[in-house]
């Protein structure tokens, strides 16, 4: 759905804007929230940036990320509009979901599984990153870019394309990235802050993830599970396993990679990646989640199933799909 002009007009007419990202925030979410937030602020608006979830620690090296708040602030501050970025459904915004009826909701997103839950929706799967849509929105609103804003905006394009490696790395991605580099974004700072900032314990957790790795379906399916106690003994949180599923996908011959991780509160998060042909959106939606064809996921709430049960159900659901395809090929 393309209600870009309605969204632009709503933002122009608003004075107080809540800019909201999704739970389990990734680089595109954080980049989109701070880039839209700073952009609107430079136009003289009162802005609060909200992500109702723990933010991976290394993002705090970017000063603006310290300004991101949790949903509770909406108890004491009422916005004129709520701009929701990179989130495909209302349950992806955490407790902000309880406030979505307080003001018009504007949704800007690139997920094929988007529910179009806003009063106005601009959903376009033709963008590799929501950050590219924010760049267009900022430009249309007349926001002036400096090196700081360019870097924050670049970050989402870089991370959602796997630093320009994934299948969504198209001409538009490189053009937008080039424009932001021209405006002062430093790709090396972004890459080094996000990729070369690991704690030693993360590598120990990685060892355990590899230890638990299972490979099935003639090498097409690879998955691993990390129980909460493994994070706990190393003093880590779930965010510290970011990127692991990509490493599973990097195995020769693997088409579908899955990481199951248990969070502190007992929720089971399932993160899935595929390499070249398997469309994961059907599986994600089947289990109540969403995403893209090559990157999707879902969450099973605490108490609904154990980690082992979630692993078994997911693997059993995917296996016949993989076999059907290989049956066709051979
Ligand atoms: Mn995204």
What ranges do the domains of the chain cover? 4-195, 200-329
Distance 242 CA to ligand 1 centre (A): 15
> What are the tokens at 295?
């990157």
d(CA 86, ligand 1 centre) in Å: 5
22 CA → ligand 1 middle, Å = 10
User: How far away, in angstroms, is 103 Cα from ligand 1 center?
Assistant: 24
Q: How far is the CA of 32 from the centre of ligand 1 (A)?
A: 9
Question: What tokens appear for 229 in the block?
Answer: 């106690």
Between the CA of 327 and the centroid of ligand 1 the distance, in Å, is 33
Distance (Å) from CA 251 to ligand 1 centroid? 24
Give distance in angstroms: CA of 39 to centre of ligand 1. 19
What distance in angstroms lies between residue 85's CA and the mean position of ligand 1's atoms?
9
Give residue 330's pLDDT. 41
Bridge partners (DSSP) listed for residue 108: 85, 122
What's the pLDDT at 158?
98
- Ligand 1 centre to CA of 301 (Å) is 23
The fold adopted by the segment(s) 200-329 is: Diaminopimelate Epimerase; Chain A, domain 1 (3.10.310)
Question: What is the Å distance from ligand 1's center to 276 Cα?
Answer: 19
φ/ψ of residue 117, rounded to 5: -90, 5
Q: Would you write out the chain's pLDDT as a tens digit for each of its 330 residues?
A: 799 999 999 999 999 999 999 999 999 999 999 999 999 999 999 999 999 999 998 999 999 999 999 999 999 999 999 999 999 999 999 999 999 999 999 999 999 999 999 999 999 999 999 999 999 999 999 999 999 999 999 999 999 999 999 999 999 999 999 999 999 999 999 999 999 999 999 999 999 999 999 999 999 999 999 999 999 999 999 889 989 999 999 999 999 999 999 999 999 999 999 999 999 999 999 999 999 999 999 999 999 999 999 999 999 999 999 987 766 544
Dihedral through CA 91, CA 121, CA 53, CA 94, nearest 10? -30
Task: State residue 31's pLDDT score.
Answer: 98
Tokens 């992806």 correspond to: 92
pLDDT at residue 163, rounded to an integer: 97
Ligand 1 centroid–CA 179 distance in Å is 19
Spatial CB neighbours of 169, under 8 Å, sequence gap ≥ 6? 128, 161, 162
Question: How far does the centroid of ligand 1 lie from the alpha carbon of residue 292, in Å?
Answer: 9
CA 317 to centroid of ligand 1, rounded, Å:
25
Determine contact, residues 290/281, Cβ cutoff 8 Å: yes
Tell me which fold the domain 4-195 belongs to.
inorganic pyrophosphatase (n-terminal core) (3.90.1640)
Q: What is the pLDDT of residue 307?
A: 97
Centre of ligand 1 to C-alpha 28, Å, is 5
Residue 254, Cα to own-chain centre: how many angstroms? Answer: 23
């Amino acid at each position: 759905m393309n209600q870009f002009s309605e969204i632009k007009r709503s933002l122009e007419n608003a004075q107080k804007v809540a800019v909201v990202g999704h739970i389990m925030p990734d680089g595109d979410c954080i980049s989109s929230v701070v880039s839209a937030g700073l952009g609107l602020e430079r136009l003289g608006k009162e802005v609060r940036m909200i992500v109702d979830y723990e933010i991976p620690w290394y993002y705090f090296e970017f000063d603006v990320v310290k300004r991101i708040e949790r949903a509770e602030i909406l108890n004491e501050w009422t916005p004129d509009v709520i701009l929701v970025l990179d989130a495909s459904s209302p349950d992806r915004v955490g407790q902000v979901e309880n406030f979505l009826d307080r003001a018009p909701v504007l949704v800007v997103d690139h997920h094929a599984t988007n529910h179009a839950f806003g009063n106005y929706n601009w959903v376009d799967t033709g963008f590799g990153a929501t950050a590219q849509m924010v760049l267009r929105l900022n430009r249309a609103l007349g926001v002036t870019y400096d090196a700081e804003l360019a870097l924050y905006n670049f970050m989402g394009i870089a991370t959602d394309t796997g630093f320009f490696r994934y299948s969504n790395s198209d001409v538009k991605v490189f053009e937008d990235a080039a424009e932001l580099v021209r405006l002062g974004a430093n790709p090396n700072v972004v890459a080094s802050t996000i990729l070369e900032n690991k704690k030693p314990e993360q590598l120990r957790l990685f060892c355990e993830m590899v230890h638990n790795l299972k490979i099935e379906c003639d090498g097409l399916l690879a998955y691993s599970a990390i129980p909460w106690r493994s994070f706990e003994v190393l003093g880590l949180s779930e965010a510290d396993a970011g990127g692991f599923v990509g490493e599973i996908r990097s195995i020769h011959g693997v088409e579908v990679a899955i990481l199951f991780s248990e969070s502190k509160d007992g929720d089971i998060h399932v993160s899935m990646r595929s390499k070249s042909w398997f469309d994961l959106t059907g599986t994600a939606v089947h289990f109540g989640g969403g995403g893209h064809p090559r990157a999707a996921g879902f969450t099973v709430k605490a108490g609904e199933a154990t980690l082992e049960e979630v692993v078994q159900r997911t693997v059993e659901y995917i296996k016949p799909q993989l076999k059907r395809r290989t049956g066709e090929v051979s």
